[in-house]
Chains A and B, each alone.
Chain A
């Protein structure tokens, strides 16, 4: 799914959360969204998912995206940093609800759901209410539901600061790579540069609602000089910090 964002701006009162963002994201990539706290990463993910709408336009494969466009919305899966679920729903009921809403509750999906439950170590929790889960377990449940849908665009807000255990994180990385190899796009925000550097194909750095840096990781690695002790991304952040926007 090719994503085109044209002059996207979003204001909360007097604050410009996003300011004239324009970019194109090619399909089959894992894009890491970086930036300081309050830079606008979450707002960009929310705009891409249709949760909030700003001025400007977002197109998926050339088709203009609006919140009411259900065909497109069924191709997008968005998981906020704090997954919201009905507390009395069990893990299975939650996944069932997500599949139902994505019109993916076909019996053929059962093996895939079981695979995800197994991968996230959720099997013993299938009949546990969401309110009884830890934050990491709740995040894994929400993630399992959305991965089962197999959406063309996966938007994840801070998945690596979600309380998931190492197994869950490893499984998510594997699933993200598999999705990208199928031509799907994964966009996630993070503050952990090591993960961004090993998992991503592309980097998007946002600062005060504007795109500060957008390039592929290989491009960045090609231009950066190797300094001892500092990763390529750490060097980039230090460089950006020294140059005012």
Chain B
């Protein structure tokens, strides 16, 4: 199935251009709206990005000077990419954008499936190229490329075919399994493998044998003469798995065909929103107690005493907010309301685990100890201001306004809600920050008191920058970086000065760690942050910026 008609399009384009050229007005319109070539090749940019990340990983693996690390990275990447590609393919076929576009056009399910499968196999050709490059680099560095060329080809092809087969088999046999739960650890291990001690790397290399991708990698290592020659027999089961590929693909295809044929499966998923909107009044009419639109449900539930029924952080914040501010908070948070207490509990578990590891673990790269703290902070503290769905827009063409812009809610009201909420969230996270900072200080050879002090400074800085973060949230839903006028340029110039002052103040807190300097620095950071928020408020309320941002079209 071809989705374009190049000759016809080219002819039509020439006709149109000939017709428009005599009219300067229409010709200018045409030139203004015409897409630039680099904007038409978004896939190309995505591929470049992926190749760049993989290249960095392979360079790191090569620089470790341990031959098996590169192969372990390849095996983990191959397993992860097999699951990810197959899962993406399945969800795209059944519920993807292509399906939504083509479902109303005269396209046979078979043709559609063939079209999607072709693009799927093309993406696997990219994976094959990555495997060829990886095994080729290995042969150059740790073997003899000319001698090992055959082994490189065999390994890359087996890696591709066995990966495809395993991905398809997993999806056929466990269609409801959340593949992200498997893919994320595989990719995580792939990165962690580069920084682990040698013993742990060797263990991970052996552990890759639980996956067919590991069989290929071990077999290739033996073929290249860098492992026990008996290990080359691992290629036999990999070959058997690869040979089962037609069978696995046929099973997968049957599953997809049955899903596509189901009248209420794929179609309901694609048009879910429309149907919900269409049915809502009917549901009410038949007396269903479960409205379909989540926002409606929330709005109904959040009347009166509902804040008292939420978690303890929500209850504290509920006391601080006025009735009007509660309404604003409910709107801006949508379905995120009620998650703060739960997030703090998760962060507490991560912090306690991380603290224990920091105290008792053997030698590991120092940066690894900061990771749990960072994760806990991102979960529980308003590091980036928190998640506020009210700032997001809806699916639309062209430019879309953020949700709050369509309702009579002021900059000040939203800011007050966010500031009160974020200050309480920062305070509730503070004990965790202090404990973990003390543990990190202990690990680094400093006193516990020193660590707690640094932790406290971090909490105070986080609280002081909140006004600027709030302004940043407003900015994310505007075209302020694209609509250039005198006021906007002046604001960004002023904002840059404020930022420099804030960075200087924060630096002084750590360079001159006296109580007076620290207190003054925090006050300066807060004052600059507040000034930035206030100046943006003036721009915002005087209408110097548009509340529009590029719409989410997919």
On A, residues with C-beta under 8 Å from B are 12, 14-15, 17, 36-38, 40, 42-43, 46, 49, 51-54, 67-68, 70, 73-74, 76, 78-82, 84-88, 90, 92-93, 95-102, 105-107, 109-110, 113-114, 117-118, 123-135, 137-138, 208
Contacts and interface: CB of A to CB of B under 8 A. Distances in A.
Contacts of A53: 263
Contacts of B33: 124-125, 127-128, 132
B40 A129 contact: yes
Given A17-B278, A101-B3, A133 B397 contact: yes
A98 B11 CA distance: 16
Contacts of B34: 127-128
Interface stretch (B105-113, B377-385, B419-427, B531-539): B105-113
- Give the top 8 A-B pairs by smallest Cβ distance, nearest first: A124-B29, A73-B106, A105-B5, A87-B553, A128-B33, A124-B30, A96-B5, A127-B34
Given A126-B12, A134-B397, A42 B39 contact: no
B35 A123 contact: no
A136 to B, nearest CB: 9
B352 interface: no
Interface string B101-129: 11111111100000000000000000000
Contacts of A134: 397-398
Nearest to B396: A135
Interface stretch (B15-23, B48-56, B58-66): B15-23
Contacts of B88: none
Contacts of A87: 553-554
Contacts of B15: 110, 114
B286 interface: yes
Contacts of B6: 96
27 contacts: A14-B286, A38-B282, A42-B278, A51-B271, A67-B109, A74-B106, A78-B104, A79-B104, A84-B97, A84-B100, A84-B101, A84-B104, A88-B39, A88-B40, A97-B5, A101-B1, A102-B105, A107-B7, A109-B8, A113-B12, A123-B16, A123-B20, A125-B29, A128-B35, A132-B398, A133-B398, A135-B396
A172 to B, nearest CB: 18
B320 interface: no
B301 interface: no
A17 B4 CA distance: 36
A123 B14 CA distance: 11
A80 B279 CA distance: 17
B42 interface: yes
A84 B3 CA distance: 15
Given A14-B288, A98-B105, 4 more contacts: A80-B274, A101-B107, A106-B8, A132-B33
A79 B15 CA distance: 27
Contact of B286 (A15, A84, A90, A124): A15
Contacts of A208: 282, 285
Contacts of B267: 51-52
- Secondary structure call for the A interface: mixed
A135 B397 contact: yes
Pick from B8, B102, B281, B286 the residue with the most CB of A within 10 Å. Answer: B8
Contacts of A129: 35, 39-40
Interface string B329-350: 0000000000000000000000
B104 A80 contact: yes
A54 B551 CA distance: 34
Contacts of A37: 278, 281
A131 B551 contact: yes
A129 B285 CA distance: 42
B9 interface: yes
A92 B13 contact: yes
B27 to A, nearest CB: 8
A176 to B, nearest CB: 19
B108 A68 contact: yes
B274 A42 contact: yes
B19 A99 contact: no
Contacts of B30: 123-127
Contacts of A93: 4, 9
Contact of B13 (A42, A68, A80, A126): A126
Given A124-B20, A126-B13, A138 B4 contact: no
Contacts of B105: 98, 101-102
A99 B108 contact: no
Nearest to B102: A101
Contact of A15 (B39, B102, B279): B279
B16 A126 contact: yes
A127 B11 contact: no
Nearest to A72: B106
A97 B97 contact: no
B26 A123 contact: yes
B79 to A, nearest CB: 31
Contacts of B19: 114, 118, 123
Contacts of A106: 8
Interface in B508-554: 551, 553-554
Contacts of A51: 103-104, 267, 271
B413 interface: no
A46 B102 CA distance: 14
B397 A88 contact: no
A40 B278 CA distance: 8
A98 B34 CA distance: 21
Nearest to A136: B397
B39 to A, nearest CB: 7
Contact of A86 (B101, B109, B271, B278): B101
A117 B26 CA distance: 13
Nearest to A142: B104
A131 B398 CA distance: 6
B12 A138 contact: no
A84 B105 CA distance: 11
A13 to B, nearest CB: 8
A124 B26 contact: yes
B435 interface: no
B180 interface: no
A86 B97 contact: yes
Contacts of A17: 275, 278-279, 282
B5 A131 contact: no
A36 B280 CA distance: 12
B176 interface: no
Contacts of A96: 4-6, 8-9, 12
Interface string B364-397: 0000000000000000000000000000000011
A137 B399 CA distance: 13
